[in-house]
Amino acid sequence: MDDAAALQSIQATTRYTSEEMRAWVARRRWALAGIIYTIMIAAAIVFVGPLLFSALSSLKTNPLEYPPGLNIPQLYPSNWIAAARLGRLGGGNPLLGGFKPGARIPFRITYFVPEDVSAELPEVIVPRRRPGAGLGAVMKIDYAADYAHVSPVMEAERAPSAISIDGERVRGEYITYSFTVSYPGEGPPIDRVPVDITSSPGVIYVSSTLTASRIERLGRVASYDNLAPGFFGYVFRNYVRVFKEARSVSTGKSLFFSWTLNSGLYAIARIITNLLFATMAGYALARFNFRGKTFIFMLVLFSQMVPGQVTFISNYLVIRDGIFGLTRLFGVRSLLNSLWGVIIGGAGSSAMIEASKVFIMKQFFESIPREVEEAAMIDGTTQLQRYWRVVFPMARPALGAVTILTFQGAWNDFFWPLVVLTSPEDIKTLPIGLLSFRQTYGAAGDWGLILSGAILSAIPVIIIFFVFQKYFLEGVSFGGSKK
């Protein structure tokens, strides 16, 4: 029954006018839409909210800020420009900053000085400060304090004004001071220039060329992690730290970069083997008739039900001994702590061929009409050609689904790599690396670095999901129903 018919039938039995009825139906329609949209938005917030929140927190100097605020200096365009300019002046690099010989960094800071407070010139120092925790604390570094020179602090401007503090109007003046941090003479390039500006008690920090990283000692000290951070170094400070600070002690290479590379190689290897083997197995199960076919298919399905934890010990032993000593042919005693061990030795959902992928491919091949292959057969093709030249290219949607699902599985695979890859640090994959981050930095309350690492590691999956959404859904429908 459509709306008009419904209206008429209701009108016939009640005393409402058609106008009122129409308005009521319209209201109901809008209310329904409203309810559905509210539910969908609420669900979206519940699922995406934590991700967005941690993305925002990862930008903060103190991600544990409580109560959490949204007033993040890293999001002000004025700071972006200042950070890039200071980075260019300090290290000749507007993106990543730094501190190189010959650098001159002019800086201004403004305080509000209430009438009853006498302000002295603030004291500016470049402290000898190293990272307090994590791998940065273990590394040998050069200190900016050993090379930097701070010019005498000068008063630049003075303007009378009044501000309100706790609802009370306080008279006083804005005073701006200026100074320059320079790098005279020769020396090594240095990553960061921490600066502490200490003023007299009672004055209030208002602004500076670059917003201070933190205000300490009840307002007396404006502290900067890096006076010449560059755009990325300021806005994405924790992200830059992920790459710069977390390095292998023995080789000096960025750990996060190695981990990403390992995860990438692992994912690609898994995709290639799964595409090749799962299509072959799926094709055989879909097209050939042989004794025990159903049994084999059942076996494949059954293997999906065995959790990886059941088989991992035997797999571990096989990998440890180099596949019964076979790898000794290549001069390798054991496949532990090698990517090959992770790729070859996996079982269940970290294997070179996964049961669920075989299932997807079998279902898809069964949906391709036999007539296609029969036509090819008349043209004189062999069995292998029919598989490789005819059916394989036709299976593109299913191949897409297998690729996506395998990539996601491999990228997030945790258990098996955790067992196989223990040392050195740079052999690990991303999820295992993030665990080691948690141990290194979480213990010291340095969550910014962990958050940024986690978000960086999620990006490839998010991108792939958006680009290949269609295949994700198809993967589900291939697995579930037979066309």
Partner 1 sequence: MKKLVKMLTAVLLVTLIALPLFAGGKQEKQTAPASVETASKKEVQIRIMGYGGQDPAVVVRLLDEVIGEGLEKEGIKLSYEPLEGDYNAALFNALSAGTAADIFYIPVETAPGIIATGKVLPLNGLVDTSPFIDSLVEAYTFNGKIYGIAKDFNTLALHYNKDLFDKAGVAYPDENDNWDTLREKIGKLAGIGDNIYGISLPADYARFGAFAFAAGWKPFDEKGNTNLLDPKFKTAVEYYTGMVREGIAVQPSDLGQGWTGGAFATEQVGIAVEGAWILGFLRNEAPNIQYGTTFMPVGPSGERGNFLYTVAYGINTDSPNREAAVKVLEALTSEEAQQFVLEQGLAIPSRKALVDNPFLKKGTPEAEANRVVFEGSRMGFVYGYQFGKVGTDWFRPINSALATIMTGEKDIDTALKQAQSEIEALIERAK
Return the closest-CA partner of residue 156 out of 222, 107, 204: 107
User: How far apart are alpha carbons 221 and 334 in whole angstroms?
Assistant: 56
Q: How far is the CB of 23 from partner 1 (least distance, A)?
A: 50
Q: Which is nearer to partner 1, 55 or 332 (CB)?
A: 332
**Are the C-beta atoms of 474 and 162 separated by less than 8 Å?**
no
- CB-nearer residue toward partner 1: 23 or 443: 443
- The least CB distance from residue 170 to partner 1, in Å, is 19
Residue given tokens 């050195």 in the structure block: 424
Least distance in Å: CB of 470 to partner 1?
28
Shortest CB 433 distance to partner 1, Å: 10
How far, CA to CA in Å, does 145 sit from each of 95, 131, 307, 344, 419? 23, 14, 56, 51, 44
- Distance CA(358)–CA(70), nearest Å, equals 48
Q: What are phi and psi of 236, to 5 degrees?
A: -110, 50
Q: What is the closest distance, in whole angstroms, from the C-beta atom of residue 394 to partner 1 in the complex?
A: 16
Q: Which residue has the tokens 């002295």?
A: 120
> Of 327 and 349, which has the nearer Cβ to partner 1?
327
The minimum distance between CB 324 and partner 1, in angstroms, equals 15
Identity of the residue numbered 135? L
Closer residue to partner 1 (CB): 421 or 456: 421
Measured from the CB of residue 334, what is the shortest distance to partner 1 in angstroms? 9
* Nearest to partner 1 of 130, 396 (CB atom): 130
Task: Using alpha carbons, list the distances in angstroms from residue 117 to 131, 196, 255.
Answer: 35, 21, 51
HSE-CB of 420 using CA atoms within 13 angstroms: 34
**Beta carbon of residue 292, minimum distance to partner 1 (angstroms, whole number):** 26
What's the closest the beta carbon of residue 240 comes to partner 1, in angstroms?
15
Footprint on this chain of partner 1 (rule: CB under 8 A): 62, 64, 66-67, 127, 129-135, 137-139, 194, 196, 198, 214, 216-218, 220-221, 223, 249-250, 327, 330-333, 335, 337-340, 382, 384-385, 388, 418, 422-425, 432, 435-436, 439-440, 443-446
Strand order in the sheet with 214-216: 123-125, 195-198, 221-224, 214-216
Whole-angstrom distance, CA of residue 156 vs CA of residue 462: 49
Give the β-pairing of 204-208 and 104-114. antiparallel
Instruction: Quote the strand ranges of 379-448, DSSP E.
Output: none
Residue (354 or 446) nearer to partner 1, CB: 446
Which of 19/116 has CB closer to partner 1?
Answer: 116
Could you give the 3-state DSSP secondary structure of residue 124? Answer: strand
Q: Taking the complex as a whole, how short is the minimal distance between the CB of residue 321 and partner 1, in angstroms?
A: 13
Buried b (16+ CB within 10 A) or exposed e, 396-420: eebbbbbbbbbbbbbbebebbbebb
Min separation Cβ 195 and partner 1, Å: 11
Distances (CA, A) of 443 to 6, 404, 431, 447, 450: 66, 35, 18, 9, 11
Nearer to partner 1, 36 or 276 (CB): 276
Question: What distance in Å separates the CA atoms of residue 248 and residue 196, rounded to the nearest whole number?
Answer: 30
Nearer to partner 1, 69 or 152 (CB): 69
Nearer to partner 1, 223 or 356 (CB): 223
Q: Helix (H, G, I), strand (E, B), or coil: what is residue 65?
A: coil
Read off the tokens for 167.
């609802």
CA distance 176 to 158: 6
Nearer to partner 1, 51 or 444 (CB): 444
- Determine contact, residues 94/230, Cβ cutoff 8 Å: yes
